[in-house]
Every structure is written in C-alpha cells, then in structure tokens.
C-alpha cells in the first residue's frame, strides 16, 4: 500500500482497543526486525515524519524508534493485512534494532543473504576499511574488478564440468561476490538486477 494514499481511518482500530500490531521488516534484506504497536497518532506520525513511531504501552505515549539510541527506522512502506488489523512496515534500519545491540529482536530471523552481502559491500565501498579485500578491489578500479568477474566466471564453468558440487558452489559464491562488487563499482546493486529479472517474468 502506498504511504502517499494511506487511509488511516479504513483500518480496524476497534478490534484491539485502538492499537494495531506493526511487524517491522528490513526493506533490503526482508529480515523481520521487531514487533511494535501503533495507534492512529503513531501511524500518522510515522507517515508524516518518515521515521517509524510506535505507541509504547509501558510508557503510555508515542515513541519513535531510536529517539534515545539514534538507531532509527527510516520508513519505506506500510502495508495492511487482509483483515485491516495488522501492519507490515518496511524500513531501513540505521544501526541495530534490538536493545541487545542485535540486528533483529528475533535472533534467528531469516533474511535474504544476497541482500545482506550487497549491503555489506555497499558499506565497504563507502568506508574503505584498511586491510579489507573488498577495499582493495574498489581501489584497483573497475577494470580490475571486471577482470576478477571474468576469472571467477571461467572457474565456475570449469568447476561445473570437472569438479564436485562443493567446488562448484564455492566458485559460484566467489562469482556472486565479485559480481556484486562490480555492480556497486558502477553505482548499481543486486536489487537493480533483481528488478530486471522481475520485469522479464512471463
């Protein structure tokens, strides 16, 4: 559901005493981050500010995630389930979501591993930490990165015809990693490639 046309009054507020559960999901990795509750004012504040805001049942007030830690959740979208009594909030976390300093309040919540790799490579590209192989790739320039993708592609193909499954999977992982670096060096991402694939469906 588009946040621009969100009809707050169309939701089933009366079912649960004016509160709706709000499941928060990382927009990039699809990992479930936390569960909170929103009343009308919290949802309105979320849509207006672009920062995910809840109604705190313990504090009995509106509470913007990260208001003390700085680990805010930047809103991407809000969707509603079929009964209009539960919200699915997609957001981009700025820091750990859990108060135990974990990515998610659900320690073993599944996510998209390739999206997490893409996000990590984007971070390496921005920060360029010393001693990082990814940093060395970026500093070597796009021609060097492209060469590595070519080498890994050949090694993957050779593994497919001459080696066992473990070797093939290892080479395929190397290829995906280097391809992700190459896309990022061009200002692109795996998500951009996914969108091309999605457009080709059918």
In 3D space, the residue among 76, 86, 101, 98 whose CA is nearest the CA of residue 26 turns out to be 76
pLDDT tens digits for 56-66?
999 999 999 99
Q: For residue 137, what pLDDT is reported?
A: 97
8 A C-beta contact, residue 19 and residue 37: yes
Class of domain 113-199: mainly alpha
Question: What residues have CB less than 8 Å from 187, skipping those under 6 apart?
Answer: none
Q: Where are the domains of the chain?
A: 3-93, 113-199
pLDDT of 182 over the 70 cut = yes
Q: Please, are residues 22 and 87 in contact by the beta-carbon 8 Å criterion?
A: yes
Tell me the pLDDT tens digit for each residue of 106-160. 999 998 889 889 989 999 999 999 999 999 999 999 999 999 999 999 999 999 9
Q: Is the pLDDT of residue 199 over 80?
A: yes
Tell me what pLDDT residue 5 has: 60
User: Residue 179 and residue 190: Cα distance in Å, rounded?
Assistant: 9
pLDDT of residue 7: 84
Query: Please, are residues 36 and 65 in contact by the beta-carbon 8 Å criterion?
Result: yes
pLDDT at 112: 87
pLDDT at position 11 over 70: yes
Helix then strand count (H, E) for the chain reads 6, 6
- Domain 3-93: CATH superfamily is Phosphoribosyl-AMP cyclohydrolase (3.10.20.810)
Q: What is the pLDDT of residue 28?
A: 85
């Amino acid at each position: 559901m588009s946040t621009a046309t969100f009809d707050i009054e169309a939701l089933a507020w009366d079912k649960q005493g004016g509160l709706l559960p709000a499941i928060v999901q990382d927009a990039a990795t699809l990992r479930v981050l936390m569960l909170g509750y929103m009343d009308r004012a919290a949802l309105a504040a979320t849509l207006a500010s672009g920062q995910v805001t809840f109604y705190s049942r313990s504090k009995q007030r509106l509470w913007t995630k990260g208001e003390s830690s700085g680990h805010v959740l930047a809103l991407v979208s809000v969707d509603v389930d079929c009964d209009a009594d539960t919200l699915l909030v997609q957001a981009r976390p700025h820091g750990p979501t859990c108060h135990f300093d974990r990515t998610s309040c659900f320690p073993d919540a599944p996510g998209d591993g390739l999206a997490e790799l893409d996000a990590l490579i984007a971070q390496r590209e921005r920060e360029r930490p010393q001693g990082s192989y990814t940093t060395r790739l970026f500093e070597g320039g796009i021609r060097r990165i492209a060469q590595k993708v070519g080498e890994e592609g050949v090694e993957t193909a050779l593994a497919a015809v001459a080696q066992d499954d473990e070797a093939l999977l290892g080479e395929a992982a190397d290829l995906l990693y280097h391809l992700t670096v190459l896309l990022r060096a061009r200002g692109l991402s795996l998500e951009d490639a996914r969108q091309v694939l999605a457009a080709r469906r059918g």
